[in-house]
A and B are shown apart, each in its own frame.
Chain A
């Protein structure tokens, strides 16, 4: 079996590379095709993991891939591009196969990051043209099954866990297992356009500034989330508020999230999916509860996480280390409970696979 994994974003490309490495362990050859270069995201993983399959990378546009002979040789194609572009890609691919009198390979797709509720449904619906939906955990499987209840042609699903992130940091990359030692770093995962309410970003920064001033032995790193380019400021806040921030608050460069998360003491976000990595790696985490459960803030999946707190309820940053830990049942259902994702995917693909292309 040879699989093409297609991504159109930096983080998608990173996730596809991780998945390709996992699939190589299952004796499969993988070609990761990216429309973005993945160099800006530093991976803590070894370059060539030991495996029996081969992994190659190709940087080209979606149309270049469709017009190349490679596409006809694939025995399965994973499409991890923006949901709204999936249908066009799949239609074009199937037409190309038809013109070449060839049976199309099964196409699988799904959101790169774990979603839930309306956001998951919105992401899945444009992917219904695929042969297999890749989800993260039990929760998403249930939601997808409920969504497709009594549909004339429901799309098969498979849960493949948190494939977007390394299962563990590099050896020695996880600082302070249990209770990390001082000096501490708090990573604030900032997201584009959040919080949405007018003045809320300034309030968040002001509160962070107060906490940082009261805890000089902490370094607060406001880290750009995947949704932004490197050139943008992580938070769209008033310049005056930014100017008043204490010196132990800094803005981190994007692209090295897994490393930063492995080394931080605590992590705060509104709804960044990278918080799952911090949770899975045992970091102290807080999901900001200041604005309640809001679909437009992406906070719906976290309502059961057990780590939602109002920023003003945190007196000192040291409190973060004593916060209740994440609801592990919830985390497992969101995808952390699936540890054989690649083999589950291979099993699901084998039942739909087309015969190997002749050499």
Chain B
């Protein structure tokens, strides 16, 4: 099957390696490659962009990200990197009309995040605050929606599942505080309120007509992601709330200007991406060449910095009998993965001074075939 475009939503080095792999496919036809972000970016934006440079299109959430990428690439050879703001509306409108607030259950769903807050004592504090709030609000149901099921994993690591934290922190939770493993959209369609520390689920809540609130108890420091939500006008300290009735009464909808800034709303839509792909198809013969990532004085992660790219470069250098260069690439690869046996064996072979020993070592160590 021939694809017009491929969207790549992987972690940094895999993103770079995928683009590299497509670039070496034989033949003149290449699908358009685009990448993006899986939600609101809390930190590490510049590093993430450095892994994405060279893609035919980088999809961004909204003007906040666009401003950051422009600042990063200004006055550099990569200034022409194409990017678009495609927004954060992740859910297609349901066919059934959304329930108005007064027809919804008095239910607050808390969207848990795997590593925010990250310290175990903060996660215990989180559970305690929610339990106390549930106790103060006996006419409400407080549901915690775990990000993952027990024994599941994301690329974020956490030692303890939220169910275990609840058990260890409060033993028996109040009867109106429960874990709920149903898909989030299902819960958001019946709950009145959705709470989070800094999850992208805030925007999912808006899609389903559920009023979001940001739990400000963990401050606005980057490690909690709270700083991104300060302008939303929906930040509240949960440990200071009288009960959920009072919260519902005083809670506004998020500031529309802030929503627009982060990419939620009608201005920034995936339709722009489809237009771009269509345009790409029509103009493919006359498209300008992709940006050249090889620029003296500039380094981008997506160019020869991933583990596999470094191994590829080493093999290329070995074929060209540039053994010093090959060793340099493998040394860097070894820093990324010090325990990789094949890299170590290849590097030992390259460091042999005598050409026969080196050649023999290279013959006996497994070659990387990308």
Please list the residues of chain A having a beta carbon within 8 angstroms of any beta carbon in chain B: 116-118, 121-122, 125-126, 128, 139, 142-143, 146-152, 195, 197-200, 203, 289-295, 300, 303-310, 312, 323-324, 327, 329-330, 333
Contacts and interface: CB of A to CB of B under 8 A. Distances in A.
B200 interface: no
A295 B47 contact: yes
A304 B76 contact: yes
Contacts of B299: 289, 292-293, 303, 308-310
A117 B47 CA distance: 9
A133 to B, nearest CB: 14
Given A122-B222, A146-B68, A199-B334, 17 more contacts: A121-B227, A142-B67, A148-B231, A151-B230, A151-B231, A197-B336, A292-B300, A293-B47, A293-B300, A295-B43, A304-B72, A309-B297, A312-B324, A312-B325, A327-B75, A333-B74, A333-B75
Contacts of A146: 64, 67-68
Interface stretch (B99-107, B208-216, B253-261): B253-261
B335 A117 contact: no
B222 A121 contact: yes
Contacts of B331: 203, 312
Interface in B10-44: 43-44
Contact of A118 (B43, B74, B75, B258): B43
Contacts of B334: 199
B233 A152 contact: yes
Interface residues of B, number: 43
A292 B298 CA distance: 10
A300 B76 contact: no
B74 A329 contact: yes
B68 A118 contact: no
B71 A142 contact: yes
18 contacts: A118-B46, A121-B227, A148-B231, A149-B258, A150-B232, A150-B261, A151-B230, A152-B230, A198-B335, A291-B332, A292-B301, A304-B298, A308-B298, A312-B331, A329-B74, A330-B75, A333-B74, A333-B75
Contact of A117 (B45, B220, B297): B45
A197 B296 CA distance: 24
Nearest to A119: B222
B221 interface: yes
Nearest to A328: B75
Given A122-B221, A293-B299, A303 B332 contact: no
Contacts of B305: 292
Contacts of B261: 149-150
Nearest to B73: A304
A307 B45 contact: no
A300 B47 contact: yes
B290 interface: no
Contacts of A151: 230-231
A199 B220 CA distance: 36
A126 B74 CA distance: 28
A303 B45 contact: no
Interface string B217-249: 000111000010011110000000000000000
Nearest to B296: A324
B297 A307 contact: yes
A199 B257 CA distance: 48
A306 B232 CA distance: 37
Nearest to A315: B324
Contacts of B296: 309, 324
A203 B347 CA distance: 13
Contacts of A333: 74-75
B338 interface: yes
B273 interface: no
B328 A200 contact: no
A309 B232 CA distance: 41
Nearest to B301: A292
Q: Which 7 pairs of residues, A with B, have the shortest CB-CB distance?
A: A150-B231, A289-B299, A312-B328, A329-B75, A292-B305, A293-B50, A306-B297
Contacts of B300: 292-293, 303
Contacts of B336: 197
Nearest to A296: B47
B334 to A, nearest CB: 7
A295 B335 contact: no
Contacts of A121: 43, 222, 227
A27 B350 CA distance: 66
Given A125-B222, A304-B74, A327-B75, A118 B64 contact: no
B328 A310 contact: yes
A121 B232 CA distance: 18
Nearest to B76: A304
Contacts of B298: 303-304, 306, 308
